[in-house]
């Protein structure tokens, strides 16, 4: 890891912590509850950023694991009256279902395009299935699934005292803390041997296999981690909204997750998170105006980015900053050289300096 | 049982023959109605450097892909060091300590030279050893100045060397190369031949190649493929003196 990267990560971590502890002090309760929802979506974006951006697995139905996590949490919390087990179960169900689905996809050597189609269909199947569970006969334990209206999701409680239910402010701390931990966990994962092999598989699967790495196993592992993260995002979503509904599985969120990653930048992990926050507030603001159709705006955003900024905001901003920095540095150096050589003008002479990629 | 007996008989007949590291028996590969390889019996001995040549469509690359696990032969067996690897996956074959370079440059375009070579070194070795091996290998293939560059931005010859570097960094005992000098300038070809000779000091090698001068430069024994089968085997001089081979290459018909 270069020193520049390390400084950037520290700065980011401190900024996130400052936000986590500062926001409830200055913002209104309504805004904080809304922020919890935004954090849940940001975590969903991070999970897709990890498997698609870093691992090259274009999963169009990341919401399947997201919705499953949310429902698992809600059903558990209603049945057992405590939530810690529910959180663990939600992560396990997300990761487990991703592993099971991934097994058939990767070991069946399904190509990338079909992977996108299959995962999208899976999430839509869940949407339609859960939507039809409105009768009193559809229940798991004591929890009625509730069909289109969904079922209520009790807020998080303390692990050691299930009667101590967290206030929305405290749920926000938990959500933001989880996002920070997951982000740095993902950063760590991409730097491990496993993570670096996943990037290699994204770049060239054949070459990775010819080096002796089992591409299927690595993709499966990464996919399962992404499923677990999406499951946790579902838990936060359930807490932010207070209900879980079949909409969590629907095309709206599935497509938005893709848009967040494209807008934020594939290959970065912070990009999708920032894009999820940004677009969440853009859509909320547009919803208040009520003049423009949300889906149309999102579509236009997507088209503009694919055409004008295909790498996404964060990579573009980073390379811009780097060339700026590089230019000032090289200018300084050439001035210094010119001074030393007694020249009057540096001209357009290029110092021995490799431009940043 | 039968195979063990034939093996034993062979070694009695030719006691001076070295251990076989790659062996195929009756290898046949069909694609629908097309037979790309027919009944190929092939044997590579330890320490040997063997070139596979033949006109386009002779079945060299198909044979090569059967060896590397990219294709599963329709019939016959592939043995690597007494281990039947017929139908094994590429990563399993590579995991045996086999270094493989394919015909189309297969490199990690989005990764740096250093990262690419490290990935190869790290698979078989611990972290500290992999770092050292990466640095050494990059010096050997003379890519030290561009180690941090992204492979996708490199020239064709450099990309080929990155791939060769990856093969070298995995410290293989058996190396399979498909057209390592394809598309290189004369100068680049000379350096590649040097690298291959150097590699051959510690490994057994199979090289698929078109360029006769290149084959002479690496001074290899040659197996000629024609219409999916082995036409003949011998040194470069024997091969180029042979009338049939010349006919096959120049397209004469009797």
pLDDT of residue B5: 40
Would you say residue A346 has pLDDT above 70?
no
Q: What is the pLDDT of residues B47-69, one digit of tens each?
A: 899 999 888 888 888 999 999 99
CA distance B179 to chain A (A): 16
205-264 in chain A: CB under 8 A from chain B? 206-215
Tell me whether residues B94 and A215 touch, CB distance under 8 A.
no
- Percent of chain A at pLDDT > 70 equals 91
Nearest residue in A to B148, CA atom = A357
- Name the residue facing B109 among A196, A203, A206 (closest C-beta): A203
> Would you say A302 and A312 are in contact if contact means Cβ atoms under 8 Å apart?
no
CA distance A45 to chain B (A): 22
Tell me whether residues A209 and B111 touch, CB distance under 8 A.
no
d(CA A68, CA A66): 6
- Name the residue facing B106 among A207, A267, A354 (closest C-beta): A207
Confidence band, pLDDT 50/70/90 cuts, at residue B7: very low
Spell out which residues of chain A touch residue B166, defining contact as CB-CB under 8 Å: 207, 211
A237 closest CA partner among A32, A39, A24: A39
C-beta pairs of A17-25 under 8 Å, 24+ apart in sequence = A17/A180, A19/A176, A20/A173, A20/A176, A20/A177, A20/A180, A21/A173, A23/A172, A23/A176, A24/A169, A24/A172, A24/A173
Q: What is the pLDDT of residues B181-231, one digit of tens each?
A: 888 888 888 899 999 999 999 999 999 987 778 888 887 788 988 888 888
The burial of B197, by beta-carbon neighbours within 10 Å (0-12 exposed, 13-18 middle, 19 or more buried), is given as middle
Tell me which of A235-239, B9-13, B173-177 is least confident.
B9-13
Q: How many CB pairs under 8 A join A and B?
A: 73
Q: What is the pLDDT of residues A65-80, one digit of tens each?
A: 999 999 999 999 999 9
What ipTM does the predicted assembly reach? 0.84
Tell me which of A130-134, A234-238, B8-12, B198-202 is least confident.
B8-12
d(CA A113, CA A79): 40
> Would you say B226 and B248 are in contact if contact means Cβ atoms under 8 Å apart?
yes
Tell me whether residues A210 and B111 touch, CB distance under 8 A.
no
Tell me whether residues B123 and A207 touch, CB distance under 8 A.
no
**Which pair of tokens denotes residue A152?**
């209520």
Spell out which residues of chain B touch residue A212, defining contact as CB-CB under 8 Å: 91, 94-95, 123-124, 170
A230 closest CA partner among A20, A34, A26, A73: A73
Q: What is the pLDDT of residues B237-251, one digit of tens each?
A: 888 888 888 777 765
A200 closest CA partner among B126, B112, B242, B36: B112
- Name the residue facing A209 among B90, B108, B150 (closest C-beta): B90
Fill in the DSSP letter of residue B3. Answer: H
If one counts every other C-beta atom within 10 angstroms of the C-beta of residue A158, the result is 14
Spell out which residues of chain A touch residue B108, defining contact as CB-CB under 8 Å: 199-200, 203-204, 207-208
pLDDT of residue A354: 38
What average pLDDT does range A253-265 have in this prediction? 93
Tell me whether residues B90 and A210 touch, CB distance under 8 A.
yes
Q: What is the pLDDT of residues A10-62, one digit of tens each?
A: 999 999 999 999 998 898 988 999 999 999 999 999 999 999 999 999 999 99
- Name the residue facing A203 among B89, B108, B118 (closest C-beta): B108
Would you say residue A255 has pLDDT above 50?
yes
- Position with higher pLDDT, A294 vs B27: B27
Phi/psi of residue B64, each to 5°?
Answer: -60, -45
Nearest residue in B to A215, CA atom = B91
Q: Which residue do the tokens 């996108």 mark?
A: A116
- Name the residue facing B150 among A211, A213, A357 (closest C-beta): A357
- Name the residue facing A203 among B94, B110, B170 (closest C-beta): B110
Q: Which residues contact A347 (CB under 8 A, 6 or more apart)?
A: A338
B44 closest CA partner among B237, B227, B203: B203
To the question of pTM greater than 0.90 for the whole model, the response is: no
- The residues of B whose Cβ lies within 8 A of any Cβ of A are 68, 70, 89-91, 94-95, 100-102, 106-111, 115-116, 118-120, 122-124, 127, 148-150, 153, 163, 166, 170
CA distance A204 to chain B (A): 6
Tell me whether residues B94 and A193 touch, CB distance under 8 A.
no
Spell out which residues of chain B touch residue A200, defining contact as CB-CB under 8 Å: 108, 111, 115-116, 119
Buried b (16+ CB within 10 A) or exposed e, A214-241: bbbebbbbbbbbbbbbbbbbbbbbbbbb
Q: What is the pLDDT of residues B138-156, one digit of tens each?
A: 999 999 889 889 999 999 8
């Amino acid at each position: 890891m270069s020193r520049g990267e390390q400084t950037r990560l520290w700065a980011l971590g401190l900024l996130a912590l400052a936000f986590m502890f500062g926001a409830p002090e200055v913002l209104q309760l309504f805004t904080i509850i809304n922020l919890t929802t935004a954090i849940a979506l940001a975590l969903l974006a991070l999970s897709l950023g990890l498997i698609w951006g870093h691992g090259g697995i274009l999963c169009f139905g990341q919401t399947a694991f997201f919705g499953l996590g949310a429902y698992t949490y809600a059903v558990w919390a209603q049945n057992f009256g405590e939530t810690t087990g529910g959180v663990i179960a939600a992560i396990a169900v997300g990761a487990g279902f991703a592993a099971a689905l991934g097994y058939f996809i990767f070991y069946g050597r399904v190509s990338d395009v079909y992977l996108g189609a299959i995962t999208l269909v899976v999430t839509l199947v869940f949407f339609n299935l859960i939507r039809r569970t409105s009768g009193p006969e559809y229940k798991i334990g004591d929890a009625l699934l509730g069909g289109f209206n969904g079922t209520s999701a009790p807020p998080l409680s303390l692990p050691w005292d299930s009667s101590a239910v967290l206030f929305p402010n405290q749920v926000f701390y938990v959500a933001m803390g989880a996002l920070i931990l997951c982000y740095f966990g993902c950063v760590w994962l991409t730097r491990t041997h496993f993570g670096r092999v996943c990037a290699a598989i994204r770049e060239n699967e054949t070459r990775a296999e010819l080096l002796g790495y089992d591409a299927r196993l690595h993709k499966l592992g990464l996919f399962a981690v992404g499923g677990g993260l999406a499951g946790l995002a579902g838990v936060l979503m359930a807490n932010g909204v207070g209900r879980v509904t079949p909409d969590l599985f629907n095309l709206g969120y599935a497509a938005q997750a893709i848009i967040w990653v494209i807008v934020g930048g594939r290959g970065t992990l912070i990009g999708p998170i920032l894009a999820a926050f940004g677009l969440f507030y853009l859509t909320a603001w547009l919803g208040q105006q009520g003049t423009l159709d949300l889906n149309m705006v999102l579509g236009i955003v997507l088209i503009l980015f694919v055409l004008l900024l295909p790498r996404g905001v964060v990579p573009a901003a980073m390379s811009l900053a780097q060339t700026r920095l590089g230019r000032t540095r090289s200018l300084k150096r050439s001035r210094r050289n010119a001074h030393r050589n007694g020249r009057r003008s540096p001209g357009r002479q290029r110092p021995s300096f490799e431009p940043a990629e | 049982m039968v195979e063990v007996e034939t093996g034993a008989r062979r070694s009695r007949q030719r006691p001076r023959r070295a251990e076989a590291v790659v062996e195929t028996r009756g290898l046949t590969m069909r694609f629908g109605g097309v037979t790309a390889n027919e009944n190929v019996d092939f044997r590579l001995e330890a320490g040997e450097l063997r070139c596979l040549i033949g006109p386009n469509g002779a079945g060299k690359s198909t044979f090569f892909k059967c060896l590397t696990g990219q294709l599963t032969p329709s019939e016959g067996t592939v043995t690597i060091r007494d281990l039947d690897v017929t139908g094994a996956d590429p990563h399993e074959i590579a995991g045996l300590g086999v270094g493989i370079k394919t015909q189309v440059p297969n490199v990690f375009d989005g990764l740096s030279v250093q990262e690419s070579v490290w990935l190869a070194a790290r698979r078989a070795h611990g972290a500290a050893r992999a770092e050292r091996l990466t640095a050494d290998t990059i010096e050997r293939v003379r890519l030290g100045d561009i180690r941090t560059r992204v492979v996708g931005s490199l020239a064709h010859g450099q990309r080929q060397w990155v791939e060769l570097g990856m093969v070298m960094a995995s410290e293989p005992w058996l190396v399979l190369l498909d057209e390592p000098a394809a598309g290189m300038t004369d100068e680049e070809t000379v350096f590649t031949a040097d690298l291959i000779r150097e590699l051959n000091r510690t490994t057994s090698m199979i090289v698929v190649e078109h360029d006769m001068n290149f084959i002479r430069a690496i001074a290899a024994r040659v197996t000629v493929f024609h219409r999916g089968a082995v036409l003949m085997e011998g040194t470069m001089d024997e091969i180029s003196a042979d009338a049939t081979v010349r006919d096959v290459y120049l397209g004469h018909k009797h």
